[in-house]
Each structure stands twice: as structure tokens, then as C-alpha cells.
Structure 1
């Protein structure tokens, strides 16, 4: 007996993949006063860390605290901007702050 049809199982897998997907970003290096720029690295922001892949020095990967912490680190050697490739995820009910549910707030 099958638990799922092919379509149901594919839908379940797609939902799981989207819910856990990292948010992609690029670290762009700016030269001069916006005279030139380039993509220095690409990365993925997970809930608790970011993975950054640089293409210089032999395609190195770094694990960082966040995309912003990676930008700050490389900003020591030049001017970098963080460019998000994927939009920010929509907030879910789990993301709401319980303090926002204060019943006395409207009283």
C-alpha cells in the first residue's frame, strides 16, 4: 500500500526543500568611487551561519556567522557591498514575537 501518490510525494519534497532553503547572496567589491565593481564571492545564508565561496586563491569556501559578518570581514581589505539574490523570506506565524500578542495593549 502506497502512502503517497507521486504528485503528493513530489509536493511534500518541494515544500520541505523550500522551507529549509538558504538565502543566496553575493559579496561585491567596489573599486574607487563606484568606478568599477565585481562579484568577489557568492554565498548562502542559513538560519545559523553563512557559507561563502570565493573564486580567487583556488575557489575557497568559508563558514561565517552571517552574510553581514562576511561583508564586514572583507571590508578590511576593500570596499564591499552585500547584494541579496533571493528576496527575504515571508514571516511565518512562528516568527512572530510573543510580546506582540499582549492582550492589554489595546485596552
Structure 2
């Protein structure tokens, strides 16, 4: 199995199947798990912990991060999740939040 974004073309050479259907599906699932991005969010703190607003969802890959604004208002790439927060936090008190991890100060 090759890494992400490997697309087969119609001219792909005829090769024998890679194992049984179950073995192939297991290998494909492992490839996806190995290449899955980590999900994060950028949330704005309102006041001094009075409320919060979720503004962006992101996906962190090994070499970059993709960010999507709620409602599709923004789709942009950054070097990493922290850079996305830093660039967009110029006028807002944004926090980088990683779901399913213990909270850490940002």
C-alpha cells in the first residue's frame, strides 16, 4: 500500500490481487490510520472565560495544516496548527484545542 493521494489511472497495469479481500481491506485501513490527520479547532475566548465561540476546524498533517471556517467562510493552509492560531489571533483571543486530549494552556 502506498501513502496518501495515490490515485489509480485507467492505464494501471494488470496485477494480481494483493491477498484476500479481507487482507486488502485490513491493509487499506492500516494505510488510512497511518496517514490520518489530527483534528483540531480554533476557539475564541470571550471576556475572561465568560464564553467561547468555535470559529475554525482544522486537520493537521505531517507537513501542513488545513483550516476551514464554520459555514465554509475560509479554507486555507498553514505550516502547522500553531501557525494558524498565531496568524488568526491578531484581533481575537484564539485557543488551539485538540479534542480527546487533556487541556493545556495555549
Task: Name the TM tier (shorter chain).
Answer: 0.7 to 0.9
Aligned residues: 86
In structure 2, C-alpha distance between the alignment counterparts of 1:80 and 1:17, rounded to whole Å: 30
TM-score, normalised to structure 1, is: 0.74
Gaps of 5+ in 1: 88-107
Q: Do the aligned residues in 2 keep the contact of 1:23 with 1:85 (CA within 8 Å)?
A: no
Q: Give the aligned CA root-mean-square deviation in angstroms.
A: 1.6
CA drift of 1:59 comes to: 2.2
Give the 5 Å matches for 1:1-107: 2-55=17-70, 58-85=72-99
Gaps of 5+ in 2: 1-15, 102-106
Compare CA radii of gyration and give the structure with the larger one: 1
Structure 1 residue ranges (4+ consecutive) displaced by more than 4 angstroms after TM superposition: none
Specify whether residues 2 and 64 from structure 1 end up closer, same or farther in structure 2 by C-alpha distance, changes over 3 A only. closer
In structure 2, C-alpha distance between the alignment counterparts of 1:73 and 1:3, rounded to whole Å: 45
In structure 2, C-alpha distance between the alignment counterparts of 1:77 and 1:36, rounded to whole Å: 17
